[in-house]
Amino acid sequence: KRYMACRNDIHRHDAPFTAVFKSLIPAEEELEKQKQLMAKLDSLVSKEWPNAKLYLYGSCANSFGFPKSDIDVCLAIDDGDVNKSEILLKLADSLESDNFQNVQALTRARVPIVKLMDPVTGISCDICINNVLAVVNTKLLRDYSMIDIRLRQLAFIVKHWAKSRKVNETYQGTLSSYAYVLMCIHYLQQRSPPILPCLQEMEPTYSVRVDNIQCAYFDNVGRLSTFGSSNRETIAELVWGFFNYWAYGHDYANTVVSVRTGSILGKREKDWTRRVGNDRHLICIEDPFETSHDLGRVVDKFSIRVLREEFERAAKIMHQDPNPCAKLFEPY
Ligand code: ATP
Ligand code: MG
């Protein structure tokens, strides 16, 4: 006899999903080690460039990081004419004389970086220059995560699923972790009643200009800690609903998901209806600040099928499987 989950007995999966979530959160001591390394890098950098600042960005700072990840650091230098290669080479030199290991300056990469390993904490780290937009979108994600715990629960589970199923590989045409987190935020903005607000549509309390893009939103999220409380949906329901939406509910042909507006936009209004260069717009996720940037741009006609088949597989498991938690994360 086939097992069919209905909205009522989906709740029996809440405990296993909560357990998966808890098992994926990094330990406090790991965060301590990251801080220790940042302090060390900070003092090295300020000797060389007194006006520069170091920022953590990406999963180590957006609250959606898994244990044992490498950390991403941005060196912000405001010196008018910045020669990135020169800075990276100089930085690599200082790091080596400070006994960091595996120091490598990749000055010709798409995003030029210095790589290093800290022998004291064992943490590996990439340092890039002036990627301030990434620092700002990292803050946006972290601010959203503080409003309702269900965002972190959902996003950890979705990321864990994406990594297990090998659909978190941008060089193979599937989506970045950043894209998946935006999809989760959008999904929770769309619930009724909503679980998350749209911070960029509220009165801004934070505003910075980065490369001609005004980044402004309400960041006083301490005020919003009860925002989602009239929605009682639980983690198992949300995982079910998320996969169901991306398997059967989303209009891939005509729409764009937008965290910036908290709504679904038409591809027409963004002029994302046809292929331009390598951007095919087969699944459209608008970057919250760089609004001409589609995070689905990496997806091609082969990988879109892979992605949609994986969404359908996940939705079916959530509908039918007596033990979805085991099946969902089965390695591909
Ligand atoms: P993981 O746990 O998989 O390492 P991550 O949060 O570090 O996850 P990445 O997708 O590696 O996610 O991205 C790192 C950071 O770089 C993101 O948090 C975001 O700030 C920025 N970023 C990544 N991809 C883009 C993009 N296409 N456009 C703008 N910013 C991006
Ligand atoms: Mg990363």
ipTM for the predicted complex comes to 0.94
Considering every ligand atom shown, identify the ligand nearest to the alpha carbon of residue 64 and give its number: 1
pLDDT of residue 4: 54
pTM recorded for the entire structure: 0.95
Residue written as tokens 């990496």? 298
CA angle (144, 67, 119) in 5-degree steps: 125
- Between the CA of 124 and the centroid of ligand 1 the distance, in Å, is 16
Whole-number pLDDT of residue 9: 83
- Residues 33-83: tens digit of each pLDDT: 999 999 999 999 999 999 999 999 999 999 999 998 889 999 999 877 779
Q: What is the spatial distance between Cα 35 and Cα 120, in angstroms, rounded to a whole number?
A: 12
What pLDDT was estimated at residue 92?
97
User: Burial of 34 by CB count in 10 Å (0-12 exposed, 13-18 middle, 19+ buried)?
Assistant: buried
Say yes or no: CB of residue 295 within 6 Å of ligand 1.
Answer: yes
pLDDT by 10s per residue, the chain, length 332: 455 555 568 999 999 999 999 999 999 999 999 999 999 999 999 999 999 999 999 999 999 999 988 899 999 998 777 799 999 999 999 999 999 999 999 999 989 999 999 999 999 999 999 999 999 999 999 999 999 999 999 999 999 999 999 999 999 999 999 999 999 999 999 999 999 999 999 999 999 999 999 999 999 999 999 999 999 999 999 999 999 999 999 999 999 999 999 999 999 999 999 988 888 999 999 999 999 999 999 999 999 999 999 999 999 999 999 999 999 999 99
The pLDDT assigned to 137 comes to 98
**What is the pLDDT at residue 8?**
62
Q: Looking at the CA of 293, which ligand is closest?
A: 1
Q: Ligand 1 atom 21: the closest Cα is on which residue?
A: 134
Report the residue among 62, 131, 176 best suited for mutation to probe ligand 1: largest number of ligand atoms under 8 A from its CB: 176
Torsion of CA 310, 312, 314, 319, to 10 degrees: -170
Ligand 2 centroid to Cα of residue 268, in Å, is 32
Mutate to test the pocket of ligand 1, among 128, 178, 286, 287 (most ligand atoms within 8 A of CB): 178
Residue 14 burial (CB < 10 Å; 0-12/13-18/19+)?
middle
Query: 236 to each of 63, 105, 169, 267, 309, how far by Cα in Å?
Result: 21, 44, 25, 31, 21
Helices 303-320 and 235-244, axial angle in degrees (round to 10)? 140
Whole-number Å distance, alpha carbon 64 to ligand 2 midpoint, is 10
DSSP string, 161-216: HHHHTT---GGGT---HHHHHHHHHHHHHSSSS-SS--GGGSPPSEEEEETTEEEE
Ligand 1 proximity of 189 Cβ (cutoff 6 Å) = no
Asked whether 140 lines ligand 1 (CB < 6 A), one says no
Give the pLDDT of residue 7.
57
Ligand 1 centroid distance, CA of 134 (Å): 8
Residue 208 Cα to ligand 1 middle (Å): 20
**Does ligand 1 have an atom closer than 6 angstroms to the CB of 131?**
no
**155 close to ligand 1 (CB < 6 Angstrom):** no
Question: What distance in angstroms lies between residue 26's CA and the mean position of ligand 2's atoms?
Answer: 14
**Predicted local confidence at residue 1, as pLDDT:** 40
**170 Cα nearest atom in ligand 1:** 10
Answer whether 289 contacts ligand 1 (Cβ < 6 A). Answer: no
Q: Whose Cα sits closest to atom 31 in ligand 1?
A: 134
Answer whether 65 contacts ligand 1 (Cβ < 6 A): yes
